[in-house]
Structure 1
Amino acid sequence: MSRYETRLKDYLRRERPSYRIFEGLQELVRSVGQLHNNRLYVNVAQWDQDPVHIPIYYLDEHWLEECAEDGTVATNEQDEHIPVWISDRQVQTWFELATFESIVEVLKDTGQPVTLQMVIMAVKYYEKHDTYLDYEEVKAVIDLWSVLTKVRNHLTE
């Protein structure tokens, strides 16, 4: 099968919901490869405080345009259209789904188990540096953090 045929097959098998609400990061990670590329929205301040449990909104751009025509959208602080029913949640564009999926896929490329902590670290790194961390880089940071935590605990005993 050619690369084009593989990509077309992947495109055709993906779901196309108008919107979807992920109750947390774990649910979003489990959906990698299932949805068409659209934007993900979060309350960025809440994401920084609790990236595991923050709701993440997947909103289809064409659906948002239809909602705008129906008058069922509001405008957030970034002048983006969002559904009225989430206008009080201070959400804004976070990532395109394809970007989020790429962050996760870079971690999974080694075939090693990927933890939610690793995904969070890779996402936050991407937010700041606009580049990916691979599995070995994330693992090294986690290992270093573990050692530093043990040293701190030892010194405070």
Structure 2
Amino acid sequence: MSRYETRLEDYRRRERPSYRVFEGLQELVRSVGQLHNNWLYVNVDQWDQDPVYTPIYYWDEHWLEECAEEGTAVTNEQDEYIPKWVPDRQVQTWFELATFESIVGVLKAAGQPVTLQMVIMAVKYYDKRDAYLDYEEVKAVTDLWSVLTKVRNHLT
């Protein structure tokens, strides 16, 4: 199968819901490869404080435009449309789903188990530096953090 045929097959098999709400990062990670590419929205400040349990929103751009035309959308501080039913007006564009999937894909390319903590670290790194962390880089940092935590706990 050619690369073009593979990409076309991937495009056709993905779901195209108008919207979806992920109750946390783990739920989003489980959906990798299942949805058509659209923007992900999140309250960035809340995500920085609690990346595991912050709701993440997936909204189809055309659906958002229709909501705006129907009057069922409002604008946030960035002048982006968000549905009226979202209680948090601080929600804003975060990543394209394809970018998020690439971040996770780079980690999974090593063929090793990927933890949620590793995904968080890689996403935050990408957000700040517009660059990917591979599995070995993330593993080295998590191992160092584990050692430092053990030393701190031993000293106290």
TM beyond 0.5: yes
* Structure 1 residue 54 displacement after superposition: 0.7
1:82 is aligned with what amino acid? Answer: I
Runs of 4+ in 1 over 2 A off after TM superposition: none
- Could you report, residue by residue, the CA deviation over 1:112-154 in whole angstroms, capped at 9, with x for unpaired residues? 0000000000001111111000000000000000111111112
Q: Aligned partners of 2:13, 2:57: CA distance in 1, in Å?
A: 21
Under a length normalisation based on structure 2, what TM-score does the superposition of the two structures give?
Answer: 0.98
1:152 matched to 2:156 = no
**Identity level (%):** 86
Q: Which residue of 2 aligns with 1:40?
A: 40
Unaligned ranges ≥5, structure 1 = none
With 46-55 and 82-91 compared, the bigger mean Cα shift is at 82-91
Structure with the bigger percentage of helix: 1
- For residues 7-18 of structure 1, the aligned pairs below 5 Å read 7-18=7-18
Q: Which residue of 2 aligns with 1:110?
A: 110
Under a length normalisation based on structure 1, what TM-score does the superposition of the two structures give?
Answer: 0.97
Q: Aligned partners of 2:2, 2:140: CA distance in 1, in Å?
A: 36
Q: Aligned partners of 2:103, 2:152: CA distance in 1, in Å?
A: 31
- For residues 93-104 of structure 1, the aligned pairs below 5 Å read 93-104=93-104
- For residues 66-145 of structure 1, the aligned pairs below 5 Å read 66-86=66-86, 88-145=88-145
Q: Aligned partners of 1:22, 1:100: CA distance in 2, in Å?
A: 14
Is the 8 Å Cα contact of residues 75 and 87 (structure 1) preserved in structure 2?
A: no
RMSD, aligned CA: 0.8
Count of aligned pairs between the two proteins = 156
Unaligned ranges ≥5, structure 2 = none
1:44 is aligned with what amino acid? Answer: V
- Could you report, residue by residue, the CA deviation over 1:25-52 in whole angstroms, capped at 9, with x for unpaired residues? 0000000000000000011111011100
